[in-house]
Structure 1
Amino acid sequence: MAFDKQEAGEGTIVLRVAYAGGAYSGFAEQPQPGVRTIAGELRRALEAFLRRGVELTCAGRTDAGVHALSQYVSFSAEAADLKIPARRWLRAMDALLPRDIAVNAVFHAAPGFSARFDAEARTYVYRIADRPERPVLTRDRVWWLRTPLDDGAMREAMGCLVGEHDFKSFCKVASAVGKPTCRNVMEVGLSRACELDEELLEFTITGNAFLHSMVRTIVGTLAEVGQGRREPGWVAEALAACDRAAAGPTAPADGLVFRAVRYPEGSLTPAP
């Protein structure tokens, strides 16, 4: 069903969305016909529910195969939208979306609010199964490395990432052409976790924004250190080089999860 483009509304609806990204070609809609994307599925569900067109803005465009626990998506709301109770939103989205995409919270925000531009920080987590035994229950959510990683060496290496730096070495080359590549990383962490009785290594990173493939390239670089192929100081050298060729490989998409977004206090109000 075709709809006209939506005009500016009286407020903004913000959805918190979770998804398993394995079956999708990333978040953003693609011009090629028949390509499944998170945004495409979400837009179709919303337009069927609201019976009008919507234009979606997300907190961060995830690549093909990347998952999310707390992706935020905003769109301009009409007066009638703001009267819809949260329970009705959730039930409608549950009925209209595929099983691997879920809307788990609904908020109201001021007119002009943007899930992308109003975000203060974003957090990603990357999970690695670093053992000889193949992961089974978590197999679609981790990067399986048969070699145990040296946690201490990786922690030593990743300290240089905190702060405002030019992360050109850690992003996809084509996406950096003619664009600023400086970002502010606020926090990094590395810990052991257990999910479905399978031990995993979790790398967590929080920053104001991220470049294309930045987190996955950082993880691939740290894994080189964790496997003893490089010394911890090499990561700082790669960062300073501002050259993608100076860093390590890009880790697979499977292990990456968009975990959280922080917005200014009071900017989001839960739908009644």
Structure 2
Amino acid sequence: MHREEDASSLDGTLVLRLGYDGGAYAGFAEQPTETTVAGEVRRALEVFLRRPIELTCAGRTDAGVHAVGQYVSIPVTADELAVPRSRWMRAFPALLPHDIAVSEVFHAAPGFSARFDARSRTYTYRIATGDAPPLLTRSVTWWHRWPLDVAAMDDAAQRLVGERDFKSFCKTSSAIGRPTHRCVQAVSFARECSLGEECLAFTIRGNAFLHSMVRTIVGTLVEVGCHRREPAWIDEVLAACDRAAAGPTAPACGLCFMDVAYDEGALVRCP
């Protein structure tokens, strides 16, 4: 393909939808001494394109968090945009580790950003209850064991919908000097069965999320589901704007980044 290009020669944006099992990674974002999803994806793209690249993701996931609908964007040249989808899809399985997979390739306009052009992001957290732990789905669920009052949890969760200050629900150090208001657009609970194993799936959609926000929300909702707290307690937690007011942070393994929404027509499937 091409060697290093200067910015003036970049004619469009390549966008990848990818998934990963986060168990072996120290999160999405690159870190100098850690194995990360972004590091593996960047290396694969640089091998294919034979030049350094700049990669932007829709949302950084923490260590151990999974994804099926993460999006990344890469500025590319006209020649690189001309690479057919079939060639990309043949190359990625050979270039990426077995626990990272590209599911679709898109084109977008110059300057498109997987992060800044996202209209919403959706996460699902899966919890298994019961005396027996999940076996085949154990890496993607939190085995909580104890029964949960889903109606009470839903009552509590609905109190999070709307524009709110979620400072109580994020990692304390990440909130210092940064805005903590976010808009939660929808929350829901559903029973799921995968490979014969049942779980409770909590899905949340919002414009953006703070560091550990979804996992802290889940840990807080579980306090309600166990009847250690009443649903109205969520109102007090929001008002406190203090991480100490909320419940524990749920384990990373149960969280999955499900999807990102963009403006209609912003992404065009690679031919």
Aligned residue type for 1:31: P
Q: 1:5 to 1:40 in 2, by over 3 A?
A: farther
Taking a change above 3 Å as real, the CA distance of residues 53 and 40 of structure 1, as seen in their structure-2 partners, is same
Residue number in structure 1 paired with 2:32:
31
Q: Which residue of 2 aligns with 1:86?
A: 85
Runs of 4+ off more than 4 Å: 3-6
Counterpart residue number, 2:226: 227
CA deviations 1:35-56 (Å, max 9, x no partner) are 1100000000000011011110
How far apart are the structure 2 equivalents of 1:264 and 1:6?
Answer: 28
CA distance in 1, matches of 2:214, 2:235: 15
Check whether the contact 2:141–2:255 (CA below 8 A) recurs between aligned residues.
yes
Q: Which residue of 1 aligns with 2:138?
A: 139
Whether 2:62 is the aligned partner of 1:70: answer no
Matches within 5 A, 1:162-201: 162-201=161-200
Letter in 2 for 1:246: A
Task: Indicate how the Cα distance of structure 1 residues 5 and 182 shifts in structure 2: closer, same or farther if over 3 A, else same.
Answer: farther
Q: How many Å apart are 1:182 and its aligned residue?
A: 0.2
Q: Partners in 2 of 1:87 and 1:201 — Cα distance?
A: 37
Question: CA 1:6/1:94 → structure 2, altered by over 3 Å: closer, same or farther?
Answer: farther
Aligned partner letter, 2:228: R
Q: Alpha-carbon deviations, 1:119-158, whole Å to 9, x = none?
A: 0000000000011111101000001111011111101111
Matched, 1:7 2:4: no
- Give the Cα separation in 1 of the matches to 2:144 and 2:185: 27
Letter in 1 for 2:158: G
Return 178-187 or 190-199, whichever deviates more. 190-199
The 1-side partners of 2:45 and 2:197 are apart by 37
Q: How many residue pairs end up in the alignment?
A: 268
Give the CA RMSD over aligned residues.
1.0
Following superposition of structure 1 onto structure 2, how do residues 95-244 of structure 1 map, counting pairs within 5 Å? 95-244=94-243
**Inter-partner Cα distance in structure 2 for 1:102 and 1:125:** 19
Matches of 1:212 and 1:4, distance apart in 2: 34
Equivalent in the alignment of 1:60: 59
What is the match of residue 263 of structure 1? 262
SS in 1 for 2:103: strand
Worse-matched range after superposition: 117-126 or 6-15 = 6-15
Deviations 1:161-217 (A, max 9, x none): 000000000000000000000000000001111111111000000000000000000
**Structure 1 residues 248 and 52, CA, compared in 2 at 3 Å: closer, same or farther?**
same
Instruction: Tell me, yes or no, if the aligned pair for 1:5 and 1:54 is still in contact at 8 Å.
Output: no
- AA matched with 1:24: Y
Deviation at 1:5, TM superposition (A): 7.5
State the alpha-carbon separation in 1 of the partners of residues 6 and 88 from structure 2. Answer: 19
SS of equivalent residue, structure 1 residue 22: helix
Unaligned runs of 5+ in 2: none
Q: Distance in 2 between matches of 1:90 and 1:6?
A: 26
Q: 1:20 to 1:245 in 2, by over 3 A?
A: same
Identical amino acids, percent of aligned pairs: 65
* Other structure's SS at 1:13 match: strand
* 8 Å CA contact retained: 1:6, 1:53: no
Deviation at 1:31, TM superposition (A): 2.0
Question: Partner of 1:16 in structure 2?
Answer: 17
Asked if the contact 1:6/1:52 (under 8 Å) is kept, the reply is no
Q: TM-score, normalised by structure 1?
A: 0.97
Q: CA deviation at 1:159?
A: 1.1
Distance 1:193 1:159 in 2: 20
Q: TM-score, normalised by structure 2?
A: 0.97
CA distance in 2, matches of 1:129, 1:138: 9
* Residues in 2 aligned to 1:151 and 1:119: alpha-carbon distance in whole angstroms: 30
Q: Secondary structure at the match of 2:78?
A: coil
